[in-house]
Amino acid sequence: MTNFLKSKIRNWLWPQADVCLPLVVLKSLYYQLHGKSIIADHRTMIRGLKNIEIKGRLVIGQMGGILHCKDWTSLNIEGKLTVRGHVHLGKGSRVHVCKGGELILEECH
């Protein structure tokens, strides 16, 4: 495979743009298969998916603004995260719930 073709494939899978649609779709399907209603940006990392309870929808990393396109959004859920209603977590957010902790988000941006 030529370097040109490799770079085209890499740019399609991991672009410099704000959103990579193929990866967003694949991540959303992965979360749906695990029973979670999550739509996540391609630069989102979730640890502790089993500790997240969703009664609505969670949208992660999709907010616009004055952010760099390479900002990562990170969720590290060791305790319990409960989402009630439609919740947006903006790009570049960091959420950490310690063991024994509980965070309840209800209809927020």
Specify the pLDDT at position 78.
96
Strand order in the sheet with 94-97: 44-47, 73-77, 94-97
Residue 35: pLDDT band by 50, 70, 90 thresholds? very high
pLDDT digits (tens, 9 = 90+) for 52-61: 999 999 998 7
Task: Yes or no: say if 89 and 65 are a contact pair by the CB < 8 Å rule.
Answer: no
* Domain edges within the chain: 37-109
pTM score, whole prediction? 0.76
More confident residue, 24 or 76: 76
Quote the distance between the C-alpha of residue 108 and its chain's center.
16
Residue 73 neighbours by CB under 8 Å, 6+ apart: 40, 41, 43, 44, 45, 60, 61, 89, 90, 91, 92, 93, 94
Statement: residue 8 has pLDDT above 70: no
In the numeric block, the tokens 């399609």 are attached to: 12
Specify the pLDDT at position 10.
62
